[in-house]
Amino acid sequence: MELYQLRYFVAVAEEQNVTAAARILNVSQPPLTRAIQTLETEVGHALFTRSTKGVSLTPAGVEFLAEARKTLTQVQRMIDRSSAAGRGERGPLQIGFFGSSIYGYLPQVLRRFRTEVPDVEIVLHTIGKAEQIEALRAHRLDVGFARYYPIEVDMEVETVGTERLVAAFPTLSVDDKNGDIDPHEIATKPLVLFPQGGRPNFADEVLHFLGNAGITPHVIQVTDDVTSAMGLVASGIAASIVPESIASLNWPHICFRHITGPDTTIPINIMYSKETLRPATVAFLDVVHNMMK
């Protein structure tokens, strides 16, 4: 039994006339008639009752029509899903991220991507920069998000956005709750930075920023991640400098203030392999690039 036989059968059943069905199918009547007869032989029962006025379905034909429609619908669904996968509109997209990109930029691009390419499954992995590069090379990741990636000849790195720096203080005094802050005020505070690994990293950028302002900070600790740093701030032990997206989480016992002066923004970077771009990755990068316009 061939798919074309099912299509022929459905057309004849819907038109209740072989001549009309042949016209719709753009085939001549004799091959259509033979196809229906062959189908009836394979089924072992007559599917149509013939008359001079046309054809009508037998009880066997009624059942066969329902199943034929299901089969043709399923086949078309298979074709559509396979084509969508080839265009990058289906299949899992493995995304690695590190740092605060998950709080600001990444949710925005993921929402846009899900709207435009809804059938691609998104899988997120919290993973450091060095591990991202290894996973990209091993094809376990499709793209990665972080800041200050090292230069790798087989990887493409793009700046897809920027974010302001803000100061984070314990909510222990009224003076620390309102208004912008001059960088030199930070020099009077014990400071906790993050992260420890993945050099160059965000901590290096903060030190560079303060150094350009002529400030030697009193760094009392460098933690593994922003959550640990915010815990120390909330406990009143230290202040910190963080990306602005961190402030959107409404941390208890912490207030955030914008930092005055130039060069108070940091980049958000995406990394992907130059050589192995799956269709789903290309579709994702299209969304990323369109959001940059």
Contact 181, 258 (CB under 8 A): yes
pLDDT of 197 higher than 90: no
Rounded to an integer, what distance in angstroms lies between the CA atom of residue 105 and that of residue 90?
23
Rounded to an integer, what distance in angstroms lies between the CA atom of residue 29 and that of residue 48?
16
Share of the chain above pLDDT 70, in %: 96
pLDDT at residue 63 in the model:
95
Domain ranges in the chain are 3-86, 93-159+268-292, 163-264
* Predicted structure pTM score: 0.70
**220-252 pLDDT tens trace:** 999 988 899 999 999 999 999 999 999 988 899
pLDDT of 137 higher than 80: yes
Using omega within 30 degrees of 0 as the cis cutoff, is the peptide bond preceding 195 cis? yes
pLDDT of 177 higher than 60: no
- The more confident residue out of 64 and 80 is 64
pLDDT of 90 higher than 80: no
Q: Do domains 93-159+268-292 and 163-264 have the same CATH topology?
A: yes
**152-175 pLDDT tens trace:** 999 999 999 999 999 999 987 545
pLDDT of 176 higher than 60: no
By C-alpha distance, which of 148, 163, 152, 155 is closest to 102?
163
Using DSSP, state whether 46 is helix, strand or coil: coil
> Hey, what CATH topology would domain 163-264 get?
D-Maltodextrin-Binding Protein; domain 2 (3.40.190)
pLDDT at residue 173 in the model:
54
pLDDT of 178 higher than 50: yes
Tell me the pLDDT band of 109, cut-offs 50, 70 and 90: very high
Using DSSP, state whether 183 is helix, strand or coil: helix
- The more confident residue out of 206 and 175 is 206
- The more confident residue out of 188 and 112 is 112
Mean pLDDT to the nearest integer, 115-124:
92
Mean pLDDT of the chain: 90
CATH of domain 93-159+268-292: 3.40.190.10
> Hey, what CATH topology would domain 3-86 get?
Arc Repressor Mutant, subunit A (1.10.10)
